[in-house]
Every structure is written in C-alpha cells, then in structure tokens.
Structure 1
Amino acid sequence: MTTISAKTILRSRNVSAPNKVLSTLLLRYPRFIHAEFMTHRTMSRNAASSRAIPVKKMIDDILADTAMPIHWGAAQKGMQADIECEEWVAWSTEYGREGYGTRESAWLKARDNAIQIAEGFERAGYHKQVINRLLEPFMHITVLVSATEWDNFLELRDHKDAEPHIQMLAREIRKCLEDKSTVRDLSPGEWHLPFISEEETCSVALNSSDLQKLSVARCASTSYKTTDGFDMTFERAEAIYDKLHTKPFHASPFEHVAQADERRDTWRGRTWDFPIEHGNFVGFRQLRRQLELQA
C-alpha cells in the first residue's frame, strides 16, 4: 500500500560546466518521513500542502493508498532497528473490550479511527488545516524537488543505516539521476523550465517571460494542473504567479525555474558570471534570486 516513487520532470546540463546538471524530480512518499527529507538544504522543494487539500479528497487518497511502514522494526537501543517485529498488537475498544490483530491490521485500525474523528471535526465546521493534521501519519505527500548537488543526500540516505523509507526514496532518486537519457543541454542564458512542454516552448503565443510564469505556477501546484484539478492554462498561471510574486513573496516555486550561468576561465581561476544568483544551486541562476536582487 505504501508508495515511494521518483519521476523525472526535467534535467538540464549547463554546457559551460558539463558536470553541473539541474534535476527536477516529482516525488511521492509517506508524510511521516517528510521532516527527514527537509533537512537537506541543497534542494529546492514544493510540496502538496495538507492545509490546502480538501478533507474528503485527502481521505479518499488515504483509503486508496495508505502510508504504512515497509519495515516493522523491533524495539532495541539506538536509531536503527535491524530486526523486524512480527508480534500481534492489542488495543482497547470504546466498550472496554480488547482488540487484537496483526501489525498491519492494527495500523489500519488506527487509520480508520483517525478518519472517523476527522470526519467528526469536518461536520463540526473545523478548517481542513486543522483536520488534516489528524490524518498525516497515514497520508502520502507529493514533493517537487530541484537540485544540482545530490552527493551528500545519497551518501547519507542510500545507506544501510538510513531509515528504511527514506533509504528506498534515495534509491528511487538515484535511478532518476543515473539515467543519462533524460538530460538535455542548456547554453548559458537558456532556461530550465519544469512542466513546460516542447509545444509550449515553441509556441509563438508565449514569450520567455510567459513560460517562466507558467512554469512557476505549475511548480507551485506540483502538477500540470491547478490544485483544484483544472488544466493550468496561461491565464490561470498568470493569476497564480501574481499572487505568489507579491508581499509577502511566496518564493519557493521560483527556485525551480533557473537560467544556465556562464563559467569563464580568468586569471583568478574559473568563475561564474552571476554566482550570487545561484542560491542553493551551482551553475544555474534561480529566478527567485534574480527577482530578489532586482527588488
């Protein structure tokens, strides 16, 4: 039932520094490992927020694909649980009787209880940003991630001592990064634009600024569609872009959109033309940093 996946959205190599590849991937994994994934600062991320997703849609997703452990570690000292536990689990019912079942059935019982309480909160008129917190242990999260530097993440997480779920995620990410067929070349000045199709790139109706806005809006919703499920047309994208590019600046979606920088050989060694605009990337000028420095 648990899904841990990584899908390539766009990978771009800076031809002036061929060892620098900006990779944008779409991930899906259990919400309960999200905090660990967030510790890696070289990555730019946007996630489908549980504050924004309607309660019914969240419950339907949980019932269709419940996040549950893939490794049921037995109690022991330290952070690693090498041996799995297969013991049955006991719990008390509301009538004082004791329930008893496998580890999987106990987890699903906890899920069903959480859903029942969440539905009660919804009937009482509480906001989804409150209700969905009850459901987070059983939900998956969709995350758009962009980075040029992956070595530390893979070294730490694709390791026998890593938490099992993030270890599996790291291995799925590694598969994407090792697939050289997905990489396209960008010359300095050309743009890395996630969620922009070849047809849209060639369209005479959309200029470079339009494509940047369209890409930013789609990155914000982690999809070609809006969070409401509508096609992300340019008109919808422009409205979302304008809401993001205001005060306060909702900046994270602007990090995935980036421009290949020029690397030059000088008397001081190899330097980039605009290193201050790289942010957490190397060799690519984030749209976020460009806008912030223009302000």
Structure 2
Amino acid sequence: MIKAEIIADSENEFGNRITTMRVVFPRYILAELNTHRMLSKNSASSRAIPFQKLLQSVKENPFIPIAWQKDHSGMQGSEYFTDKEDINYITKNWLLSRDFAVQEAENLSSCGVTKQLVNRLLEPFMYHTVLITATEWENFFSLRCPQYEFTFDHTDTKIFRSRKDLIRYGASYHKDKYNDILFWLQLNKGMADIHMIALAETMWDAYNESTPKKLNADDWHIPFEDTINLSDLTNTLKELNGEVYENMFLPTKIKISTAMCARTSYTVIGEEGKRPNLLNDIKLHDRLSLNGHWSCFEHCAKSMNQIEYNEVYNSINKSNGGIVKDFGWSGNFRGFIQYRKMFANENITVNGK
C-alpha cells in the first residue's frame, strides 16, 4: 500500500515549482526519508494516534515486504526468494511475528502503559503517512528512485526512474510485467532499500503526472484549499467575527490549511478524507503558533515577487571554487516564502533574537 497523492502543485512566474504530496509507506523507512532536509514534512505520530486505532490498522492492513531478499553483505542485495513455498513460509512467520507484537502490545496496554511506548511495538508492521512540501526534489529522486537499466537494440543502454518511464520510452512490450515486482527489482541498479525505491518511484510518477497551477507574484500555494467549502468558511467567519469581509478569506484559508497539515500527526490511514471542522482548525492554528510548533507552517507558501526574489539568497560554492549568490531562497524553498518565515519568533535562539 505504498502511495503518493498530490495535494497541491503550483508554479510561480520564475518557473519555480512547489509541490505538496501525501505519501504512505512502511514505517521502518521513515528514518531514511527524514535525512532529506530540503523536504518540509509533517508525519503521523506513534505518540499521538490512539493505541486502538493503530492496533486495528496493524491487524487489518499490516506491512508485508514487497519481496523477500536473501541474506547478503553490504547494504543492497540482488537475490530474492522465488519459490512459492519458501515465500509462503516466510510470510507466515512474518505475520506470526506481527501477532506476537500485537499480543504483547495489548498486554502492556491493559496494564495501563502509555500509547507512547505501546505503539512502538507495532511500528515494524505499520504503514505510515507523511505530508511533504518542497521546491527542490531532484536530490531526493536522484538518490532514492530506482535505476532500471535497459538496453534497446543491444547497443542503446539507458537508465529509467520508473516503470512507466521505461514503457513510455519504448519498452511497451513490458506492460504485461508491470506488476511483476521481481522482474523490475532485477532490472534495478539503485542502492536504496527496495521499499524506499518503490516509494520514490511512486512519488516520481505522481510528480510528473501532475500539472502545477500557475501563480502570479504574491499568490499563495495552499494545500487542501480545494477541500475548504466556501459556504462553511463564510459561516465560520461570521461566527468568529460577526461580519465577513473579502480580505478575511485568504488568511483564514492559510490558517485552516496549516492546521490540516498539522493533523497529519494524529490521522490514522483511512481517515484522511474526513471533512474538516473549520472553527477547530482555526483554533488549532492559533495554539500551534502560540506554542511554537512551526513545522506545519512550512507547507503554505507565498509566491515571491521580483523584489523578494532578488533580496533573499544563499551563498553556494561552485565546483571551480568560487562563491556565488543563489537568489530566491526562503528556508528550504526557492521562489516561495514559507508561511513559517512570516513569524518573527519562528526559531528560538539562545539570546532570544
């Protein structure tokens, strides 16, 4: 059940693209995803989600490896179990391990042990949800996508980042093998974990199949904006303020979107489509900003205007040893100013400045 869903996709006047996607993958590769610092993330939390919800998820939809790799030296192997009896035996034992973990988690929970600890026993068998927003995806795709090596006409060898790319390029006769995981794993020359490879490929395809919305300078990239009902928003603003003015809609949408991004932390798989409570989301936004929980403020972002693009820059080292100004940066985004960066206290320092 590895998935990638585009939540919002935008492009500014300078050609910078910002994309928000919600991904689902095996919990055990979360640490590898978290090494990619150019990606802003909000992640489901084993501390926040109730034990019974996670327990049900692991019972009904446990993570089972997509293929069983044989023991090997180093970080990546190339041999897989193919005999059906072997695979059935290994899978049976994997699920038996899941059953033991479930049993002991239930035992600890019945003793009154906090979900913050009990849920950890379930993590090897969990799928996990993360909301990601970024403008700079290439380094992630370069490191994590598969490298399907294929030779055309015995001489033309090329590398592809997805099955769809290879088939589109000219190997259409492999369409019937699209779901044959072992076939593609044997073509792959990439060194990432096979589940990270599967996730990155799914994200790569989602990214390439999405068409970004064109934004003008000072327009906003707002994840989940299309789920905010205008009538509900108007009624919520009336409840809060008594009167409704046009200039209230945009900042309130940003608040609601930020709260919806934050709710990733305690949304279990299968509940992502629940209708938002706009008033509760506004209140959640305000509590998060008051208490300095800023990660969810990194998904909404304003398209830079020309002045902002020229004023904000990083210094980078070129291969020839020179240092140049790289314009248009706000945090880890290029061409867009993170909502987080609009708060003076978004980063606590020792001297408070």
Counterpart check, 1:104 vs 2:156 = no
TM-score, normalisation: structure 1: 0.84
Q: Distance in 2 between matches of 1:84 and 1:168?
A: 16
Q: 2:11 aligns with which of 6, 10, 13?
A: 13
In structure 2, the CA distance between the partners of 1:74 and 1:198, relative to structure 1 (3 Å rule), is closer
Q: Distance in 2 between matches of 1:273 and 1:143?
A: 32
Q: 2:204 aligns with which of 151, 163, 174?
A: 174
Q: 2:293 aligns with which of 247, 250, 259?
A: 250
Q: 1:221 aligns with which of 243, 246, 263?
A: 263
Residue equivalent to 1:57: 53
Q: Distance in 2 between matches of 1:293 and 1:260?
A: 22
- Of residues 116-125 and 237-246 in structure 1, the stretch that sits farther from structure 2 once superposed is 237-246
Aligned CA RMSD, in angstroms, stands at 2.8
Residue equivalent to 2:74: 78
User: Where do 4+ consecutive residues of structure 1 move more than 4 Å?
Assistant: 86-90, 198-206, 225-230, 273-277
Q: Distance in 1 between matches of 2:219 and 2:70?
A: 52
- Of residues 153-162 and 28-37 in structure 1, the stretch that sits farther from structure 2 once superposed is 153-162
Counterpart check, 1:292 vs 2:336 = no
In structure 2, the CA distance between the partners of 1:115 and 1:180, relative to structure 1 (3 Å rule), is closer
- Indicate conservation of the 8 Å contact 2:221/2:302, yes or no: yes
Q: Distance in 2 between matches of 1:87 and 1:226?
A: 35
Residue equivalent to 1:261: 304
- Indicate conservation of the 8 Å contact 1:262/1:273, yes or no: no
Q: Give the letter aligned to residue 168 of structure 1.
A: A
- Indicate conservation of the 8 Å contact 1:274/1:285, yes or no: no
Matches within 5 A, 1:160-171: 160-171=190-201
What is the CA-CA distance between 1:113 and the residue it aligns to?
Answer: 0.3
Structure 2, unaligned stretches of length 5 or more? 147-189, 238-247, 315-328, 347-352
- Indicate conservation of the 8 Å contact 2:38/2:332, yes or no: yes
> What is the CA deviation profile of residues 120-168 of structure 1, one whole-angstrom value per residue up to 9, with x for unaligned ones?
1111001111100000000011100000111111111113222100101
- Indicate conservation of the 8 Å contact 2:304/2:337, yes or no: yes
- Indicate conservation of the 8 Å contact 2:44/2:268, yes or no: no
What is the CA-CA distance between 1:89 and the residue it aligns to?
Answer: 11
Paired positions, count: 273
The structure with the greater share of residues assigned to helix is 2
Residue equivalent to 1:280: 332
Counterpart check, 1:237 vs 2:281 = yes
In structure 2, the CA distance between the partners of 1:199 and 1:63, relative to structure 1 (3 Å rule), is closer
Q: Which has the larger radius of gyration?
A: 2
Structure 1, unaligned stretches of length 5 or more? 91-100, 265-269
- Indicate conservation of the 8 Å contact 1:26/1:143, yes or no: yes
Q: Give the letter aligned to residue 207 of structure 1.
A: F
SS of the residue 1:9 aligns to: strand
> What is the CA deviation profile of residues 255-275 of structure 1, one whole-angstrom value per residue up to 9, with x for unaligned ones?
0010001246xxxxx953445
Counterpart check, 1:192 vs 2:183 = no
Counterpart check, 1:38 vs 2:17 = no
What is the CA-CA distance between 1:13 and the residue it aligns to?
Answer: 0.3
In structure 2, the CA distance between the partners of 1:34 and 1:252, relative to structure 1 (3 Å rule), is same
SS of the residue 1:272 aligns to: helix
Q: Distance in 1 between matches of 2:278 and 2:311?
A: 32
